Amino acid sequence: MGGQAVASASGRFGDVFDPNVGRVQARVGLGTADELNRAVEVAAAAQPAWAAINPQRRARVMFAFKQLVEAEMDSLARLLASEHGKVVSDARGDIQRGLDVVEFACGIPHLLKGEYTEGAGPGIDVYSMRQPIGIGAGITPFNFPAMIPLWMSAVAIATGNAFILKPSERDPSVPVRLGELFQAAGLPDGIFQVVHGDKEMVDAILDHPAIGAVSFVGSSDIAQYVYSRGVAAGKRVQAMGGAKNHGIVMPDADLDQTVADLCGAAFGSAGERCMALPVVVPVGAETAERLKAKLIPAIGALRLGVSTDADAHYGPVVTAEHKARIERWIQTGVEEGAELVVDGRGFTLQGHENGFFVGPSLFDHVTPDMSSYREEIFGPVLQIVRASSFEEALALPSRHQYGNGVAIFTRNGDAAREFAQRVNVGMVGINVPIPVPVAYHSFGGWKRSAFGDHNQHGMEGVHFWTKVKTITQRWPDHMLAERGAEDGGPSRNMGSFVIPTMS
Q: What is the pLDDT of residue 27?
A: 97
What is d(CA 376, CA 220) in angstroms, rounded to the nearest whole number? 10
Mean pLDDT over 479-496 rounds to 56
Q: What is the pLDDT of residue 493?
A: 56
Q: Please, which pLDDT band fits residue 177 given cuts at 50, 70 and 90? A: very high
Whole-number mean pLDDT of the chain?
Answer: 95
What is d(CA 133, CA 156) in angstroms, rounded to the nearest whole number? 9
Mean pLDDT over 55-84 rounds to 98
Q: What is the pLDDT of residue 502?
A: 64
What is d(CA 461, CA 440) in angstroms, rounded to the nearest whole number? 10
How many other C-beta atoms can be found within 10 angstroms of the C-beta atom of residue 265? 26
- Collect all residues with Cβ–Cβ distance below 8 Å to 304 and sequence separation of at least 6: 312, 313, 314, 315, 347, 349, 357, 359
- Answer whether 338's CB lies under 8 Å from 301's CB: no
The helix-helix angle for 173-184 and 73-84 (nearest 10°) equals: 160
In DSSP terms, which residues pair with 237 in a beta bridge?
214
Query: Each residue of 321-347: pLDDT tens digit?
Result: 999 999 999 999 999 999 999 999 999
What is d(CA 165, CA 140) in angstroms, rounded to the nearest whole number? 8
Q: Please, which pLDDT band fits residue 476 given cuts at 50, 70 and 90? A: confident
Query: Each residue of 5-46: pLDDT tens digit?
Result: 999 999 999 999 999 999 999 999 999 999 999 999 999 999
Closest by CA position to 314, among listed 153, 53, 70, 87: 87
- Answer whether 280's CB lies under 8 Å from 384's CB: yes
Q: Please, which pLDDT band fits residue 498 given cuts at 50, 70 and 90? A: confident
Q: For 365-413, list the strands marked E by DSSP.
A: 381-384, 402-403, 405-409
End-to-end CA distance of the chain: 54
Q: What is the pLDDT of residue 466?
A: 98
What is d(CA 387, CA 379) in angstroms, rounded to the nearest whole number? 24
What is d(CA 302, CA 92) in angstroms, rounded to the nearest whole number? 20
Q: What is the dihedral of CA 188, 151, 106, 453, to 10 degrees?
A: -110
Residues with a catalytic annotation lie at 274
Q: What is the pLDDT of residue 482?
A: 58
- pLDDT exceeds 60 at position 461: yes
Question: What percent of the chain has pLDDT above 70?
Answer: 96
Q: Please, which pLDDT band fits residue 352 given cuts at 50, 70 and 90? A: very high
Residue 33 region by backbone torsions, left for phi larger than 0, else alpha for psi between -120 and 50, else beta: alpha
Q: Please, which pLDDT band fits residue 500 given cuts at 50, 70 and 90? A: confident
Among the residue ranges 270-284, 319-333, 451-465, 477-491, the one predicted with the least confidence is 477-491
Q: What is the pLDDT of residue 483?
A: 57
Among the residue ranges 111-115, 191-195, 324-328, the one predicted with the least confidence is 111-115
Q: For 279-423, list the strands marked E by DSSP.
A: 279-282, 339-342, 361-364, 381-384, 402-403, 405-409
- Answer whether 243's CB lies under 8 Å from 275's CB: yes
- Which structural domains are found in the chain, ordered by start? 13-241+450-467 (3.40.605.10), 246-443 (3.40.309.10)
Q: Please, which pLDDT band fits residue 481 given cuts at 50, 70 and 90? A: low
